[in-house]
C-alpha cells in the first residue's frame, strides 16, 4: 500500500476534464517522478493532492496512509506530513528567512533554521535575517523553500518543477537536498518535464492529457520519454493509454 493512494481521481474546469480517472500509488520512502509535457495535468495533480483552493472540486479519493484526506484543509494535510514546493516560490515582503523557515519546524529553534539553510548550500549567517522578498533571486528563493521543507521533515513532499529558473550548480544542491529528504525517510514526488530531474527518481508516472499513460521503473520511463514522448504521440499509441494498476 502506498503512503499516498489516488483512486479514480477526476477534475474538470468549465466542463473540460483536466484529470481523468487517475489511479496512482506512491511507495513510502521512494523518489517518484510525474513526468509529461506541458499541459499534461502534472501540476494540477500536485495541487489537488495538496488541496489548494480551486482544486477541491474532485471526484474520486486521495488517501494518506490509508485515510482519506479529500475533506481536509491544506494545513490539516500538512500537519499529517504532506507538503508542496511550488514551481515559483512565493515572495514575502518583510518576512525574514528565519521566521519563514521556523514556521515549518516543530521546535522553532535557531539551530534548526541554520542547519536547514546550510543543507541547501546557503550561508546561514548571510541569509538568516534577510527577507524572503524580491531581493532574493529565484534560485535563492527555491533553496530557501527547500530549506523550510527540510526543517519540516515531512512524510511526503511534492516538488513542482524543482529545476525551474535555477542554474546548474544550484540544481546540484537541490538534488543533494532531495537525497537528504529520502535519507530522512521522506517520500519525494517530483513534478517535471525535465529528463535531468526525472533521472533522480526511482519510479515514474508518465502523464498526458490528464491521464497516466505508463508507470514503472524510472529508467524505463526515461527511455520512452526521451525517445517518443516529445512531441507527444500518445493519441496514436492506444496500447499505452491506461490508467489502471499501481506502482
| Footprint of another protein (CB under 8 A) | 50, 52-53, 73-75, 77-79, 83-84, 86, 89-96, 99, 103-104, 131, 145, 148, 152
The residue among 7 and 99 lying less far from another protein, judged by its C-beta, is: 99
CB of 81 to another protein, least distance (A): 9
Using CA atoms, how far apart are residues 246 and 234, in angstroms rounded to an integer?
20
Give the dihedral sign, CA 157/163/167/168.
positive
Residue 231, preceding bond cis, omega within 30 degrees? yes
The residue among 98 and 215 lying less far from another protein, judged by its C-beta, is: 98
Q: Identify the CA nearest to 245 among candidates 211, 210, 202.
A: 211
CB of 220 to another protein, least distance (A): 31
The residue among 95 and 240 lying less far from another protein, judged by its C-beta, is: 95
Q: What is the 3-class SS of 22-89, one letter each residue? A: EEEEECCCCEEEEECCCCCCHHHHHHHHHCCCCCCCEEEEEEECCEECCCCCHHHHHHHCEEEECCCC
The residue among 45 and 198 lying less far from another protein, judged by its C-beta, is: 45
CB of 73 to another protein, least distance (A): 7
The residue among 50 and 207 lying less far from another protein, judged by its C-beta, is: 50
Q: Identify the CA nearest to 87 among candidates 193, 163, 196.
A: 163
The residue among 17 and 99 lying less far from another protein, judged by its C-beta, is: 99
CB of 75 to another protein, least distance (A): 4
Using CA atoms, how far apart are residues 89 and 241, in angstroms rounded to an integer?
34
CB of 187 to another protein, least distance (A): 15
CB of 97 to another protein, least distance (A): 11
Amino acid at each position: 500500500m502506498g503512503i499516498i493512494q489516488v483512486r479514480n481521481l477526476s477534475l474538470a474546469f468549465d466542463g473540460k476534464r483536466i484529470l481523468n480517472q487517475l489511479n496512482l500509488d506512491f511507495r513510502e520512502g521512494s523518489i517518484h517522478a510525474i513526468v509529461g509535457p506541458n499541459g499534461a495535468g502534472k501540476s494540477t495533480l500536485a495541487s489537488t493532492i495538496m488541496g489548494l483552493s480551486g482544486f477541491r472540486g474532485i471526484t474520486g479519493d486521495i488517501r494518506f496512509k490509508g485515510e482519506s484526506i479529500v475533506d481536509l484543509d491544506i494545513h490539516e494535510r500538512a500537519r499529517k506530513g504532506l507538503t508542496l514546493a511550488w514551481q515559483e516560490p512565493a515572495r514575502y515582503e518583510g518576512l525574514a528567512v528565519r521566521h519563514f523557515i521556523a514556521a515549518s519546524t516543530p521546535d522553532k529553534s535557531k539551530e534548526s533554521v541554520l542547519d536547514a539553510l546550510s543543507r541547501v548550500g546557503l550561508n546561514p549567517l548571510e541569509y538568516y535575517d534577510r527577507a524572503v522578498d524580491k531581493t532574493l533571486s529565484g534560485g535563492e528563493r527555491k533553496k530557501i523553500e527547500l530549506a523550510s521543507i527540510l526543517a519540516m521533515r515531512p512524510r511526503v513532499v511534492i516538488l513542482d518543477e524543482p529545476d525551474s529558473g535555477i542554474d546548474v550548480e544550484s540544481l546540484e544542491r537541490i538534488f543533494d537536498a532531495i537525497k537528504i529528504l529520502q535519507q530522512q525517510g521522506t517520500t519525494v514526488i517530483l513534478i517535471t518535464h525535465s529528463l535531468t530531474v526525472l533521472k533522480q527518481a526511482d519510479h515514474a508516472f508518465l502523464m498526458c492529457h490528464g491521464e497516466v499513460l505508463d508507470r514503472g521503473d524510472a529508467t524505463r520511463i526515461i527511455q520512452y520519454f526521451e525517445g517518443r514522448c516529445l512531441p507527444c504521440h500518445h493519441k496514436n499509441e492506444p496500447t499505452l493509454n491506461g490508467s489502471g494498476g499501481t506502482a
